[in-house]
């Protein structure tokens, strides 16, 4: 049965304790922890991490994913890769305490359409090393399909997965990121990722003519410099219906993480997106809970 998690990064203005309380109050099944302070980092004390686990259990929340920010192996030096690898191992230890099954790692950039073979080769080498450690701990690594990265599209994501060639590595489907990249993010992408699709992020975005307004940002895409606005679900241009239909068709029974960063108060925007995603799931007759 599909379950819903809140991304703690959407509540980064709160402590992790407050973020968990809000997440539980809104009716989520779990919380995906953004692994940066003030929530969690590879340097967080184990005592503090155990306290987080106890608080989550008290609220009845699971922690399916630790959303790490380390990696970026493709564009950093070997010495920096060693540091990132050490950070991953530290976060893996914290994942064991938090009973999180997945840890996010970033492969790095540049954009897939600008990348050379050696970018993929270097990222694959280091992520495979991480995967060996994850496998020994009974965990999995998830790579997020993300704009301005080696894996901006389903095709580029599958390329890196095939090069890594390790059962403990899979992908996060993120329709919002794929919309920014301007690549297919509906049924075809889900079918293309197949068994490598381990997790799903949900958020809405739209293209705008110029930046500067709250919630707006600029990205380099294959079209050049473009501006985007972060939106609440249904208020942007990311149509999630095909994604949800195909997840149902594929009997996906994992997690959907809501990570709205629209320019609204954090609790308000998460509550709104929770309401909308439940309506969308009902529309395609997907059970959650």
Q: Tell me whether strands 224-231 and 216-221 are parallel, antiparallel or unpaired.
A: antiparallel
List the single range of 40-44, 83-87, 251-255, 281-285 with lowest mean pLDDT: 281-285
Does the pLDDT value for residue 289 go beyond 80? no
For 54-76, the pLDDT digits (tens) are 999 999 999 999 999 999 999 99
The structure tokens listed for 40 are: 């969690």
Split at pLDDT 50, 70, 90, the class of 285 is confident
Residue 276: CB atoms within 10 A of its CB come to 19
What mean pLDDT, rounded, does the chain reach? 98
Average pLDDT over residues 98-110: 99
What's the burial of 17, exposed, middle or buried (CB within 10 Å: 0-12/13-18/19+)?
middle
d(CA 133, CA 211): 42
d(CA 40, CA 68): 9
Kindly report the three-state secondary structure assignment for every residue of 169-217.
Answer: EEEEEEHHHHHHHCCCCCHHHHHHHHHHEEEEEECEEEEECCCCCCCEE
Average pLDDT over residues 26-39: 98
DSSP string, 49-87: HHHHHHHHHHHT-B--EEE---B-GGGS-HHHHHHHHHH
CA dihedral 169, 105, 82, 96 (to 10 degrees): -80
Average pLDDT over residues 246-253: 96
Per the DSSP assignment, residues forming a β-bridge with 142 are 104, 170
Split at pLDDT 50, 70, 90, the class of 288 is confident
Phi, psi for residue 96 in degrees, rounded to 5: -65, -40
Split at pLDDT 50, 70, 90, the class of 122 is very high
d(CA 119, CA 73): 8
For residues 171 and 178, the answer to whether their CB atoms sit within 8 Å is no
Average pLDDT over residues 102-118: 98
Domain chopping of the chain, boundaries? 3-203+239-283
Average pLDDT over residues 234-255: 97
Does the pLDDT value for residue 38 go beyond 80? yes
Average pLDDT over residues 17-39: 98
CATH of region 3-203+239-283, choose from 3.50.50.60, 3.30.70.2190, 3.20.20.150, 3.20.20.10: 3.20.20.150
Q: Return the closest-CA partner of residue 153 out of 184, 119, 128.
A: 184
Report the side by side order of strands in the sheet with 216-221: 204-208, 224-231, 216-221
Average pLDDT over residues 145-173: 98
Q: Is the dihedral of CA 229, 188, 257, 126 positive or negative?
A: negative
- pLDDT of res. 46: 98
The structure tokens listed for 155 are: 């095709």
């Amino acid at each position: 049965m599909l379950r819903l998690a809140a991304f703690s990064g959407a509540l980064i203005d709160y402590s992790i304790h407050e973020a968990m309380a809000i997440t539980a109050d809104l009716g989520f099944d779990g919380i995906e922890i953004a692994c940066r302070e003030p929530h969690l980092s590879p340097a967080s004390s184990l005592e503090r991490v155990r306290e987080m686990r106890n608080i989550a259990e008290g609220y009845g929340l699971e922690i399916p994913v630790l959303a790490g920010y380390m990696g970026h192996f493709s564009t950093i030096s070997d010495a920096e890769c060693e540091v990132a690898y050490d950070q991953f191992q530290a976060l893996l230890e914290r994942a064991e305490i938090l009973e999180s099954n997945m840890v996010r790692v970033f492969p790095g950039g540049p954009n897939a359409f600008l990348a050379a073979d050696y970018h993929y080769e270097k990222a694959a080498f280091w992520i495979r090393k991480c995967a060996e450690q994850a496998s020994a701990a009974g965990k999995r690594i998830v790579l997020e399909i993300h704009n301005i990265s080696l894996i901006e599209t389903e095709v580029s994501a599958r390329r890196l997965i095939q090069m890594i060639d390790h059962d403990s590595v899979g992908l996060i489907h993120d329709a919002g990121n794929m919309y920014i990249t301007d690549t297919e993010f509906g049924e075809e992408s889900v079918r293309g990722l197949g068994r490598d699709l381990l997790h799903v992020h949900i958020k809405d975005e739209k293209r705008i003519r110029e930046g500067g307004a709250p919630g707006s940002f600029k990205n380099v895409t294959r079209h050049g410099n473009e501006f985007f606005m972060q939106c609440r679900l249904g208020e942007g241009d990311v149509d999630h219906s095909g994604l949800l239909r195909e997840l149902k068709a594929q009997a996906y029974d994992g997690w959907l993480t809501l990570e709205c960063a629209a320019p609204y108060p954090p609790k308000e925007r998460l509550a709104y997106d929770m309401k909308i995603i439940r309506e969308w799931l009902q529309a395609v007759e997907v059970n959650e809970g």
